[in-house]
Amino acid sequence: MEFLRDLWGFLKVRKKFWLIPIILTLLLFGTLIVLTSGTAVAPFIYTIF
């Protein structure tokens, strides 16, 4: 939780709010890859990359 607090503090102080969608997209793709790594959906996910 401290990391998230520090990250938010950095974004707020430096006015880097444009980074939020990029971070969220990377987290979404990472979660998608981890959750579907052992399923039949995996080959379709890996073709995206």
Q: Report how many helices (DSSP H) and strands (DSSP E) the chain contains, helices first.
A: 3, 0
For residue 23, the model assigns a pLDDT of: 92
For residue 32, the model assigns a pLDDT of: 81
Q: What is the pLDDT along the chain (49 residues), one digit of tens a residue?
A: 899 899 889 988 998 889 899 999 999 988 887 777 767 776 776 777 6
The pair of three-digit structure tokens given for residue 10, joined into one six-digit string: 């950095």
For residue 49, the model assigns a pLDDT of: 67
CB atoms within 10 A of CB 33: 14
The total of structural domains in the chain comes to 1
Structural domain range at position 7: 2-48
Entry pTM: 0.63
